[in-house]
Amino acid sequence: MNEIEELAQSFLLKSTITNNINLEELKKDFSNSLIDEYGIGLDEYMEFLEEKILPNCVNVSSPKYIGHMTSKLPDFIIDTSKLVTTLNQNTVKLETSKVVTFLEKESIAILHRKFYGFSDEFYSVNIQNKKSTLGNITSGGTIANITALLCARNSSLSKKEGFEGIDKEGISGALKAYGYEKAVILGTESLHYSIEKAADFIGIGSNNLIKIKTDEFGKMSIEDLNQKIKTAREENALIISIIAVAGATESGMIDPIEEIAEIAKKEKIHLHVDAAWGGPIIFSDTHKDKLKGIECADSITIDGHKQLYLPMGIGCVLFKDPTLAKSIEKSANYIIRTDSYDLGRRSVEGSRPANSIYLHMALSIFGRRGYESFIDNSIRKTKLMADIIKEYDEFELLLEPEINILLYRAIPIELREKTKSGTLTVKENEKINDYNIRLQKRQKELGESFVSRTTSKIKKYEDQGIVVLRCVIANPLTRDEEIKEILKEQIEIMGKI
């Protein structure tokens, strides 16, 4: 083990999550804008890493870091990163990746089959077919979502008599050619903010991301979906896509995909399911029904760097129809030849690393049951945490967890009765908000554990913005014990703030 690896190992052994150094202090160390003329030695840089960087990174692998969607990675994945970097393949093109092109297509096919379950014949025709794109590996869920929406946009405004296609003529021309007033996307408030980015970036504007009402659990209202489709049609709007979420970033909630899919099918609208977080539930025999209907989605986003336990920077988009991505195809003589195996032909990104090695390896080594056990355990631990919270007067559970994201808050002693009887005023809720901000900040500063904080519109408080403590329980290192300790620590802090 060389020195850099020792550094890495020592980082994982840290018991605290991060140094409690003031940000304004910390940033002073990073105020250099001049490149050194001669450069410094590796030893000197190692000292810098050891003293300035590592103590001030966030130990997202800690079993008590349950605030965001990061986790300890499997050791074999960490070891493999050196191989992937050494190989330095570029999967944009066969000549810079060769076998990795086929490995990527196989990895994508394995995910595709798990979601769509087509026949042996379908896969034997499509898996390594130059003309077929079952999906793309991307740098993350955002690019996966953008890719899906670009494909949906381009395929619904494609070439026809007197019109060369939106890819050539742009949106204004496309809407004119097809006689639409505007183009919209339908989804709920629970969508990830990348969809708002996408609506801006693909040129329809985020005002045209039409927000469908949700029920008390934050799930898409089917009634309102029908209503919004009707309104869009009346306004002569093209509906590029309905987007359902499977594992909302804030709450873990899953939209009623099956019912949405029926409507999408009937209305002939592209259905995209953003399963960046919840996708791997498909591996669990116990929980996979939560995703029922996802096999009808025209495109699906899954993140590798979330519940597939791959390194940061790996997302994935799947396409039901292997020809859908033809709508975004581009080529160039010097690099991406038409009719080649080159993966860069039908992707948003160009050059990219051989991240399929991680994906293929993890799928092969964990197997279905490996991923199933991660999912089952995470959901079990989250239910456990919810149960404990319900037992304590100190806490209020704000949403029964659907999967492994939990929203709750701490209640100061003097307002516990009113919380129970459901008679809190808006002012009192504001007071509780401040209390939870103080609590979460203090716990973060102490550095032993970390839960995140968000402001959520809670139905039972008539959509008042409620500051909630948010736990994401996915780190396999997090045991029941740590969950109990984190709550215990919060109760201790409550005595002091």
Q: How far is the CB of 387 from a copy of itself (least distance, A)?
A: 24
Q: Which is nearer to a copy of itself, 117 or 265 (CB)?
A: 117
Q: How far is residue 31's CA from residue 50's CA, in Å, rounded to a whole number?
A: 18
Extract the tokens encoding 147. 């890719």
Q: How far is residue 175's CA from residue 208's CA, in Å, rounded to a whole number?
A: 14
Q: Which is nearer to a copy of itself, 256 or 370 (CB)?
A: 370
Number of residues that bind a copy of itself (CB under 8 A): 157
Contact segment (CB under 8 A) with a copy of itself among 265-273, 317-325, 344-352, 417-425 equals 344-352
Extract the tokens encoding 344. 């860069």
Instruction: Rule CB under 8 A: say whether 143 interacts with a copy of itself.
Output: yes
Residues 425-454 contacting a copy of itself, CB under 8 A:
450, 452, 454
Contact yes or no for 264/255 (Cβ under 8 A): no
Q: How far is residue 303's CA from residue 479's CA, in Å, rounded to a whole number?
A: 24
CA 147 to chain centroid? 14
Q: Please pick, from the candidates 281, 317, 354, 403, the single residue that binds a copy of itself as defined by CB under 8 A.
A: 354
Q: How far is residue 244's CA from residue 449's CA, in Å, rounded to a whole number?
A: 32
Q: How many CB atoms lie within 10 A of CB 401?
A: 21
Q: Which is nearer to a copy of itself, 73 or 389 (CB)?
A: 73
Residues 358-387 contacting a copy of itself, CB under 8 A:
361, 363-370
Provide the CB-side half-sphere exposure for 233 (13 A, CA). Answer: 9
Q: How many CB atoms lie within 10 A of CB 55?
A: 14
Paired sense of beta strands 452-458 and 405-410, if any: unpaired
Q: Which is nearer to a copy of itself, 33 or 421 (CB)?
A: 33
Degrees, nearest 5: CA angle 42-47-51? 150
Q: Fill in the amino acid letter for 460.
A: K
Contact segment (CB under 8 A) with a copy of itself among 169-177, 216-224, 257-265, 392-400 equals 169-177
Q: Which is nearer to a copy of itself, 95 or 387 (CB)?
A: 95
Residues 286-325 contacting a copy of itself, CB under 8 A:
303, 305, 311-313, 315
Q: Which is nearer to a copy of itself, 38 or 414 (CB)?
A: 38
Site string for a copy of itself, 465-484 (x = CB under 8 A): -----x--------------
Q: How far is the CB of 424 from a copy of itself (least distance, A)?
A: 21
Residues 208-267 contacting a copy of itself, CB under 8 A:
208, 249-250
Instruction: Rule CB under 8 A: say whether 158 interacts with a copy of itself.
Output: no
Instruction: Rule CB under 8 A: say whether 281 interacts with a copy of itself.
Output: no
In whole angstroms, how far apart are CA 396 and each of 362, 409, 410?
38, 5, 6
Q: How far is residue 50's CA from residue 230's CA, in Å, rounded to a whole number?
A: 60
Q: Which is nearer to a copy of itself, 30 or 414 (CB)?
A: 30
Non-local CB neighbours of 444 within 8 Å, separated by 6+ positions: 17, 450
Instruction: Rule CB under 8 A: say whether 87 interacts with a copy of itself.
Output: yes
Contact yes or no for 378/404 (Cβ under 8 A): yes
Instruction: Rule CB under 8 A: say whether 84 interacts with a copy of itself.
Output: yes
Strands (E), 90-188: 135-138, 182-188
Residue with the two structure tokens 């990527």: 104
Residue with the two structure tokens 């995909």: 257
Q: Which is nearer to a copy of itself, 338 or 423 (CB)?
A: 338
Site string for a copy of itself, 107-136 (x = CB under 8 A): --xx-xxx--------xx--xx--------
Residues 22-61 contacting a copy of itself, CB under 8 A:
23, 26-27, 29-42, 45, 48-49, 52-54, 56-58, 60-61
Site string for a copy of itself, 178-197 (x = CB under 8 A): ----xx--------xxx-xx
Q: Which is nearer to a copy of itself, 95 or 417 (CB)?
A: 95
Helix (H) or strand (E) holding 272: strand 271-274
Quick check: helix, strand or coil at residue 261?
A: helix
Quick check: helix, strand or coil at residue 466?
A: strand
Q: How far is the CB of 39 from a copy of itself (least distance, A)?
A: 3
